[in-house]
């Protein structure tokens, strides 16, 4: 007997229903650049594109997702790169693609397996939305990834930037992609604080229609390697002669002050097994992830190791206490060989590596 057709409503009803209740985000409506901005922006677009693309052709980094810019490879890399440095993504990307080489493999996997492969990259909602989107593509679209940025924004976890990046790189759609690097580059280029829709219009006006994917990657590459936040390397920049500021634009916002907090975790490690607990599925942060038992601030015991860990605006000093937990403690023993198959929190993975458990 053949299996009934799998649909979004039968395979993942909760995610699908919640997602469909939301209004699908629209991309920026790209109107012509305002006259006020045009009058103060004397950037020769043709020369700008030529210089930028010539530099990119000779200096682009050798990144694994660029070797095969298929929609699937591009999509995975762009989701991983959200709020994460390229250097941190490289190893994860290779391992993820080895484990889930196709969208069908990703869609068929258990969510816990996807989270385990993602563990350490942080922002785990990205992985959950990636898994949900894979199911839509594999089961409702017969494995065909949407070709346009507008269609891609109907998928869970894909917004204006990600859809523009995928559509331009994998499908050649002439749509500009604006991330933090591109925003900083354009503001320095024009010597103005450009924001919102105006920023996207400026990017679209400069975009190369013949090589939109390479142009978008070149803009992001330039922002990530030369047009740096603090010490821009203007002497190496291919567009420095067209740049108004040639360096810092000035600080419009005060840096967010990091708060500091001390936390303690118990490490009970016996006979090649470690005691772990699972976060509640309804938890606001990292639901369903596995971690070491957290101890109260006044718990006794000397730390066997202390590490630093940062999450958004909080710097943690993490004290790990080697101890035996009382009988009946909530949680379970996990063999060392099985630990990495669980979706661990990034902090737990860091602790277990520092303690040489994994």
Query: Which homologous superfamily is 259-354 in?
Result: Nucleoside Triphosphate Pyrophosphohydrolase (3.90.79.10)
Element at 314 (helix H, strand E): strand 314-322
Percent of the chain with pLDDT over 90: 61
CATH 3.90.79.10 boundaries in the chain: 259-354
d(CA 347, CA 112): 17
8-242 to CATH, choices 1.10.10.10, 3.40.470.10, 1.10.340.30, 1.20.1050.10 = 1.10.340.30
The token pair that represents 54 in the structure block? 């010539």
200 has pLDDT over 80: yes
The answer to whether the beta carbons of residues 308 and 315 sit under 8 Å apart is yes
Q: What is the pLDDT of residues 320-350, one digit of tens each?
A: 999 988 877 889 999 988 898 899 998 999 9
Residue 324 DSSP code: P
Q: Would you place residue 42 in the very low, low, confident or very high pLDDT band (cuts 50, 70, 90)?
A: low
Q: What is the pLDDT of residues 5-33, one digit of tens each?
A: 444 444 444 544 454 444 444 555 545 54
The answer to whether the beta carbons of residues 201 and 30 sit under 8 Å apart is yes
Q: Are strands 290-291 and 332-335 parallel, antiparallel or unpaired?
A: unpaired
| Residues with active-site annotation | 78
d(CA 189, CA 232): 12
Which residue(s) pair with 294 in the sheet? 265
Whether the model pTM is above 0.85: no
Q: What is the pLDDT of residues 112-155, one digit of tens each?
A: 999 999 988 888 999 999 999 999 999 999 999 999 999 999 99
Residue 37 has a pLDDT of 47
Q: What is the pLDDT of residues 241-250, one digit of tens each?
A: 999 988 766 5
Q: Would you place residue 2 in the very low, low, confident or very high pLDDT band (cuts 50, 70, 90)?
A: very low
Percent of the chain with pLDDT over 70: 86
CATH 1.10.340.30 boundaries in the chain: 8-242
Measured CA angle at 287 (ends 301, 256), to 5 deg: 75
d(CA 257, CA 255): 6
d(CA 350, CA 344): 10
194 has pLDDT over 90: no
Residue 249 has a pLDDT of 64
For the ranges 36-50, 64-78, 213-227, the lowest mean pLDDT is seen at 36-50
Q: Are strands 294-295 and 290-291 parallel, antiparallel or unpaired?
A: unpaired
Residue 208 has a pLDDT of 97
Q: Would you place residue 169 in the very low, low, confident or very high pLDDT band (cuts 50, 70, 90)?
A: very high
């Amino acid at each position: 007997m053949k299996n009934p057709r799998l649909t979004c409503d039968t395979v993942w009803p909760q995610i699908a229903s919640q997602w469909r209740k939301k209004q699908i985000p629209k991309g920026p409506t790209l109107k012509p650049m305002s006259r006020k901005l045009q009058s103060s922006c004397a950037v020769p677009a043709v020369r700008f594109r030529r210089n930028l693309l010539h530099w990119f052709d000779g200096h682009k980094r050798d990144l694994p997702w660029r070797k095969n810019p298929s929609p699937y490879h591009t999509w995975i890399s762009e989701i991983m790169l959200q709020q994460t440095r390229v250097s941190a993504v490289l190893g994860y990307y290779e391992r993820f693609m080895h484990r889930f080489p196709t969208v069908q493999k990703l869609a068929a996997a258990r969510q816990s397996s996807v989270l385990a492969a993602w563990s350490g990259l942080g922002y785990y909602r990205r992985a959950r939305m990636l898994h949900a989107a894979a199911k839509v593509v594999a089961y409702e679209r017969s494995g065909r990834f949407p070709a346009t940025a507008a269609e891609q924004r109907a998928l869970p976890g894909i917004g204006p930037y990600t859809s523009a990046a995928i559509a331009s790189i994998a499908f050649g759609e002439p749509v500009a992609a604006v991330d933090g690097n591109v925003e900083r580059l354009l503001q320095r280029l024009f010597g103005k604080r450009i924001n919102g829709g105006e920023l996207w219009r400026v990017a679209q006006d400069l975009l190369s229609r013949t090589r939109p994917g390479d142009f978008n990657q070149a803009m992001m590459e330039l922002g990530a390697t030369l047009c740096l936040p603090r010490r821009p390397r203007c002497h190496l920049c291919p567009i420095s002669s067209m740049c108004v500021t040639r360096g810092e634009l000035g600080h419009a916002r005060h840096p967010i002050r990091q708060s500091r907090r001390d936390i303690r975790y118990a490490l009970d490690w016996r006979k090649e097994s470690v005691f772990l607990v699972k976060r509640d599925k309804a938890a606001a942060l990292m639901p369903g992830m596995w971690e070491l038992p957290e101890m109260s601030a006044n718990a006794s015991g000397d730390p066997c190791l202390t590490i630093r860990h940062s999450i958004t605006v909080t710097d943690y000093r993490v004290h790990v206490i080697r101890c035996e937990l009382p009988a009946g403690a909530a949680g379970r023993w996990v063999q060392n060989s099985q630990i990495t198959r669980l979706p661990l929190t990034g902090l737990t993975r860091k602790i277990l590596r520092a303690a040489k458990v994994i």
